[in-house]
Structures are given as structure tokens and as C-alpha cells.
Amino acid sequence: MSKAYNNLVERFQKIYRLQHLGSIAGWDQAANMPSGGNNARSAALAELNTLLHQLITDQDMDYWLKEAEKDTPDHDTRCSLAEMTLEYQKANIIPDDLVRAQTLTSNQCEHAWRTQRADNDWTGFAKNLQEVVNLSRQEATIRAEHTDTSAYNALLELYEPGVNTQALDTLFGDLKTWLPGYIQQAKDKQSSRKTIQPTGTFSQENQEALGLDVMKLLGFDFDHGRLDVSTHPFCGGVNEDVRMTTRYSEDNFVEALMGTIHETGHARYNQNLPKDNPELPISFYRSMSIHEGQSLFFEMQLGRSSEFLSLIQPLIVKHLCHGKQAPFASLDNLEKIYTEVRPGFIRVDADEITYPAHIILRYEIERDLIEGNIEVNDIPDLWQQKMKDYLGLDVAGDHKNGCMQDIHWPMGAFGYFPSYTLGAMTAAQLFAAQKKAMPDITDQIRQGNLTPIFDWLQENIWSQGRRFSTSELMTRATGEPLNANFFREHVKQRYL
């Protein structure tokens, strides 16, 4: 291996180790830090992010990358060098002062959002969000000028390489043609069935014990990760130390349990990425649609299946019913609860069929916001109109359950939302491929043998890192690039 390539490896190892500290500081900020510590923590993270930016944009990097290109002896090294080059190029066009400003501003906005959302304080939130949007537009403009694309496409590329608004508009346009009909058909089909909603108090302690048992069932490695509580569930940390969070409501366990299963899907992906040189970009996750594909595979494809629910039903009885059978915890009723189609305000609590409508709504708003076609203060009215159009719901004035519900915009994560629906389609296609490769897979799940599923994901997705593009990765795993028809067929089979 050339000296230049070895220098690059050393630099990316240093960056990864500092990112490790930053990710744990970010987890602590969300899960443990006293509110009064936010200004100091934000300043510390801004300092760290600026240092990381300087390390990857150092002038030596350009020289090393060019020298290493002259001596790349094998395919994997060439792939690794290509990913290093991409990371350098993405960072090099952004100035240090913008990195610092974005870190400070997004941290301030997200921290204030935690209480502003609870207070339904749109006015206070909008003021902070405007600053985040201003800086995101600056970044988008810089990236767009260097890549000859639109502002929103430039941000979308950070999460979904190779995907653009033209492709999304076509995909979501097709969804709009059949999704409303499927929602209505499913509601009509379910209208006569009786579902017993959970009643009682489900303590956070008992829900956590249930979640931990389910995480064990799903293969989570507790020697390299943990579960905590935050305002918005997430999966962070690093591959060797994964930090998962969820949130609980003591009058209803349904959402917290599926939220935990969702984040476990993210965690299993992180914990099983390539072990050789985990510090190098070639070992990172492929894209956010692949990442969300793992979490939605766990939550939707597997987690809401009758076979998996039969596995966790005894655990629900054990932890939430004091070991005694309760009508709401019967297997038949749990299946009804977790396949109930009911348009609601909250994205993370949405069922499989209405979920894409939540994503389309957010995508259309954030696309126009970054492109400058709308402004921050236009968001509530647009949200209200789109909720009426897509889900038939009136959310006027209820910003807490409307446009203030997600953490993504306060964090400045514009371009992320489409990954959820792309991920749902990815999950459906992956499970279809597994069923084809292993015709008895549903019987295996019912018997509690989940190992074949995890082995298949490990071989085809998790262990591949960034060795292939998203399209190549899906083709190698399933025989074809992402195909939305698998999701449509899954919805039809499960609900209609």
C-alpha cells in the first residue's frame, strides 16, 4: 500500500475517533444533560465539528488523494479511495465558519424545541427555525453551485446519493394515485372488527423491561450498546458503542414498543457493519434509505407480522399484565392493534399505509422551503392543507401535533424525510427476497428462529458497507434495483 494511502487511513482513523466522542456527547445532550448545560455543550460540539472539518479539508488531503490514485492495487482499495475522495469533496466546499454556525444554531433550535413543542409555541419555534433554514439554504446554494443541481437536490444527495426530486416526484406521484384508495379500503374492511385498546397504567420500568427482552430476541448486542430515554427516539453512538433511545407513555405501551423495535433495526445495522477498518468511509452505512430500510424491516415487515407478535405476546403478558392474561394482550387483539389503519396526526405512530402520506407532506414542504418558494411562516397553513388533502385531518392551531412534531428540521436535517418511504420500500423488497430464498421463513419466525433473517441481512446488506452503490447493493441482494411494487404488494396482502 502506498504511503499516501496509509496517510489517508491514519487521518480517517483520527476523524472517526473524534466523531466517536462527538456522538457520545450528542447522545448525552439528548438523554442525560441538564438543560442548563446546552450552551456550553453546543459550543463544545461546534468546536469539535470545526476541528473535524479542518482535518478532512486539510490541504494534505488533496495531495494524498491524488498520490494514492496512482497506486491502487485492488478493487477494494479503489472503492475505499473513491469513498474517501467523496467525503473530502463534500466537506471541502463548505467553509469552517458555516460548519460552526450550523452546529450552534441547530443545537439551540433543537434544545428550545423540546419545551416549545410541549407549549405549542409556534412563534418562538419559528424564530429559531428561521435561522436554521437560512444556514441550510446557504449550504444548499454552495453545494448546488458545485454540483450543477438544484438547492434541495444538493442536500438530498447527502442522504440519498443518486436520488433527485424528479425521481421522488414520480415515485410519490404514483403513490398518490393508489394510496388514498388503499387507506379507505383498509378502513372499510376493518370497520366491523372489534379492537380492545390497552387500558391501565404501564410503568416506564415495566415497558423498559419489555423492550430490553424484545431487543435480546432481535439480537441486539448489549456489550456494544444500551437503551435510554429521549424526547425523540433515535439511534446514535458508534458501531462499537451504539446508543439507542425511545420514549414512553404510561397510559399506552403500543408506540414505545414499536419505536424500540424500529431503533433496534438501526442498531443491528450499525453493530454489524464491516469490522475491518471501521474508521474508513468504505465501512460506513450505504445510504439513509438502506438504514431506514433496516429499521422499517424490523418494525413493519417483521415486528407487525402475526408470527413475530406470537413470539412477543408472552413477554407483553409477563411485563405489562403481571403474568396474567388480559383481553387487550391476546394474540388476536395484538394483531388488530398493530395492523390498525387509522389516519392520525403523529408520523412515528402512523400505520404502514398512512405513513407515506406523512412523508410526502414533509418532503413537499421542505423541498419548497429550501428552494425559497415558501418561507417558515407559511408552514402551518401548508401543513394544515396537506393534512386535510392527504389524510382528511384538521390540525389547525395544533402545532405540537402538526408541524412541530419532528426533530429533523430543528436539527437542520433537510433532505432526510424521503428516506423513510424509500426505506419502507427497501424493507418490503428485502423481505420478499428472503421469502423467495427461504420459503419456510415465516414458519421459522413463528418457531422463534430469527437467525436465518439476520444471517441473510448480514451477508447481503450489513457486511457490505459502502462497497456498492444503493442500486447495486439492492440488485445484488434482491435481483433488481429498488422497485416500489414490492411495497404496494405487501400492503395489499397484509391489509386488503
Q: Which of 307, 323, 322 is nearest to 494 (CA)?
A: 307
Give pairs for 408-413: CB < 8 Å, separation 24+: 408/362, 409/129, 409/132, 409/366, 410/106, 410/109, 410/110, 410/113, 410/125, 410/128, 410/129, 410/132, 411/106, 411/109, 411/110, 411/132, 412/102, 412/105, 412/106, 412/109, 412/132, 412/135, 412/136
Report the alpha-carbon distance of residue 340 to residue 21 in Å, rounded.
41
Residues 429, 463, 351, CA angle at the centre, nearest 5°? Answer: 35
Q: Which of 429, 391, 181 is nearest to 300 (CA)?
A: 429
Q: Are 52 and 103 spatial neighbours (Cβ–Cβ below 8 Å)?
A: no
Cell of 346: 403523529
Please give the positions annotated as active site.
263
- Which residues touch 74 (CB under 8 Å, ≥6 apart)? none
| Helix or strand (DSSP H, E) at 229 | strand 225-229
Q: Is 249 left (phi over 0), alpha (psi -120 to 50) or beta?
A: beta
Query: Phi, psi (5° rounding) for residue 227?
Result: -115, 130
Maximal C-alpha separation, the chain: 71
Give me the DSSP letters along 8-44: HHHHHHHHHHHHHHHHHHHHHHHHT--GGGHHHHHHH
Other C-beta atoms lying within 10 Å of the C-beta of residue 494? 16
Find the distance separating the first CA and the last CA of the chain, reported in whole Å. Answer: 57
Residues 296, 479, 455, CA angle at the centre, nearest 5°? Answer: 55
Report the alpha-carbon distance of residue 364 to residue 378 in Å, rounded.
13
Q: Which of 142, 140, 161 is nearest to 151 (CA)?
A: 140
Say how many residues make up the chain. Answer: 496
Question: How far, in Å, are 142, 164, 235 from residue 154 at the CA level?
Answer: 9, 9, 25
Exposed/middle/buried for 430, CB within 10 Å: 0-12, 13-18, 19+? Answer: buried
Q: Are 172 and 363 spatial neighbours (Cβ–Cβ below 8 Å)?
A: yes
Sheet with strand 225-229: strands edge to edge: 225-229, 241-246, 235-238
Q: Are 414 and 143 spatial neighbours (Cβ–Cβ below 8 Å)?
A: no
